[in-house]
Amino acid sequence: MKNINLKPSQKLIDLSKVKILIHPHAEDALTLWQRFKSRSTQIDFFNLDKFYRPPIRLIARSDSTLYFVNDFARVDNILRSRSSDKYPCLVTPESIQDIQLLAWLEVVKLVSSKDMNHPQLFKALKQRAPKSVICKLMDIDNLTVDNYCSFAGITKTSFEYQQSKTAIEDSLVGLPMNMDWLVN
């Protein structure tokens, strides 16, 4: 039997010089996070506190590829900056369940964003997220609108209003197919 090292190691790694990818079990969570993350501009304290934040959790493979599973905003900033700085990383083995919990936690955190479209996020979670993982993270039995609203700290009326507002806006978007009325 192969000897597997289960001991995590903390290292300073230059992420611009290693191959870093999203773990396959976290891809759906990253896709939803990218779709729903806030687009508002924020003050970037990224470079000021890189050594005072918890290390970036990575998973190593035998082909020297590193996989990230959470902390999407931080990894996104690192990959965009392409700086040659070294970052504290915790290279650790993870179970598939741990990977899914860490990845989907990033998406669940978006529930508290001030400009979140809750009906769309709820629909995306219902369709794409593993139900058991989402229910565990939200500490609920079933992913229903009532449970989602309770977790998000919003009323069901607010949820329904946002849902109807989005439906009305979607029906008004675009120009009519027949443009004859412009000629007159």
- Domains, the chain, ordered by start: 8-111 (3.90.1530), 117-173 (no CATH)
- How do residues 38-73 score in pLDDT, each as one tens digit? 876 555 555 566 667 788 889 987 778 899 999 998
Could you please report the per-residue DSSP string of 10-76? EEEE-TTSSEEEE-GGGHHHHHHHHHHS--S-----TTTSTTTSPPEEEEE-TTSEEEE-S-HHHHH
pLDDT in the model for residue 174: 55
CA-to-CA dists, residue 4 to 1, 21, 65, 153, angstroms: 9, 22, 17, 44
Position 2 scores a pLDDT of 47
pLDDT of residue 176: 53
Tell me, what's the pLDDT at 110? 93
Helix (H, G, I), strand (E, B) or coil at 90: strand
Query: What pLDDT sits at residue 142?
Result: 94
Going 178 to 180 to 181 to 182, the CA torsion angle's sign is positive
Q: Which residues of the chain have pLDDT under 50?
A: 1-3, 182, 184
